[in-house]
């Protein structure tokens, strides 16, 4: 039975979110329960992400197939007060109404929506598993974009008992790139392929890391990556890991087979219309 997933995404911030959404839908490997829109620290950024998710789903030909929920418009203001939103409530409902397995929450953005859901209903810690594209290289850490936009929310999740897998953006996920030579594998693969290539062209033909695709790929097959299970460090406000203050365990993706992941992603575009 395919695992149930929610993708929490700041889809309008970068170009890799759109690639990840397309990959998750086209892979055929998941029971996609829906998408939650995340902010990226700018005015109306959550709303822009919401609109971008809808656009990508429309280009995929499945605009009415999946729920899309609005999330927090900004970072949490303290460690006790959640941002109540349709996205947070959706995560809670899907987690608690899933008696036959875990709900996987794939976070490819600031983690405000998930932290809010946890503060609103701590019981979800026993019903979800989280994959988060988060920090700089393990084991030192440091503020990368997703963590930087809501470090407080990140500290809440690190301090919780939620099953957590992190994918360092630097040193791991950034190994997966799109190049100008990939044009024939992307452009022309339906409306979504043309859109994904158009987004790449904004890079002026420069290689582009598609970090967020890795978060989908490692759930599809852990054989495409190297990982460790290690004591869960504390998280400092500067994004560094405090390995002297551990609580529970954490899984860290330390390396990926970028060739296999990229091949599977590109192959997924051939399923357009199926």
Say which CATH number the domain at 28 has.
3.90.245.10
- pLDDT of the residue at 56: 98
Bridge partner residues of 32 (DSSP): 5
Residue 189 CB contacts under 8 Å (≥ 6 apart), including other chains: 269, 270, 272
Radius of gyration of the chain (CA): 17
Rounded alpha-carbon distances, angstroms, from residue 185 to 178, 190, 192, 260, 262: 10, 11, 12, 15, 11
| Contact yes or no for 79/116 (Cβ under 8 A) | no
- pLDDT of the residue at 39: 98
- pLDDT of the residue at 273: 65
Per-residue pLDDT of the chain (274 residues; tens, 9 = 90+): 789 999 999 999 999 999 999 999 999 999 999 999 999 999 999 999 999 999 999 999 998 999 999 999 999 999 999 999 999 999 999 999 987 789 999 999 999 999 999 999 999 999 999 999 988 889 999 888 899 999 999 999 999 999 999 999 999 999 999 999 999 999 999 999 999 999 999 988 899 999 999 999 999 999 999 999 999 999 999 999 999 999 999 999 999 999 999 999 999 999 886 6
Q: Domain range for residue 58?
A: 3-271
- pLDDT of the residue at 145: 86
- pLDDT of the residue at 274: 64
Question: What is the reported pTM?
Answer: 0.97
Q: What is the DSSP letter of 123?
A: G
Question: Measured in whole angstroms, how far is the alpha carbon of residue 15 from the centre of its chain?
Answer: 13
- pLDDT of the residue at 57: 98
Q: Show the tokens assigned to 144.
A: 């990368």
Domain count, the chain: 1
Q: With the C-alpha atoms ordered 81, 86, 87, 89, is the resulting torsion angle positive or negative? A: positive
């Amino acid at each position: 039975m395919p695992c149930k997933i929610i993708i929490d995404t700041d889809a309008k911030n970068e170009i890799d979110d759109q690639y990840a959404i397309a990959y998750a839908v086209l892979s055929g490997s998941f029971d996609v329960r829906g998408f939650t829109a995340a902010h990226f620290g700018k005015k109306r950024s959550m709303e822009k992400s919401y609109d971008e998710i809808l656009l990508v789903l429309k280009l995929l030909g499945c605009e009415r197939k999946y729920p899309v929920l609005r999330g927090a418009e900004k970072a949490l203001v303290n460690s006790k007060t959640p941002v109540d939103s349709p996205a947070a409530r959706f995560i809670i409902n899907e987690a608690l109404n899933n008696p036959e397995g875990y709900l996987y929450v794939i976070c490819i953005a600031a983690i405000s929506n998930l932290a809010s859901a946890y503060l609103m209903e701590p019981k979800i810690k026993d019903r979800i598993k989280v994959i988060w594209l988060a920090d700089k290289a393990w084991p030192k850490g440091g503020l990368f974009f997703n963590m930087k936009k809501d470090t407080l929310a990140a500290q809440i999740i690190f301090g919780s008992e939620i099953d957590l897998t992190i994918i360092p953006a630097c040193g791991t996920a950034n190994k997966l790139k799109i190049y100008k030579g990939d044009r024939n594998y992307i452009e022309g693969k339906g409306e979504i392929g043309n859109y994904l290539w158009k987004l790449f062209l904004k890079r002026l033909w420069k290689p582009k890391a598609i970090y967020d695709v890795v978060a989908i790929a490692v759930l599809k097959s852990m054989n495409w990556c190297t990982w460790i299970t290690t004591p869960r460090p504390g998280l400092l406000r500067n994004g560094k890991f405090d390995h002297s203050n551990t609580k529970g365990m954490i899984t860290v993706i330390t390396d990926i087979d970028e060739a296999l992941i990229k091949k599977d992603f590109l192959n997924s575009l051939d399923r357009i219309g199926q």
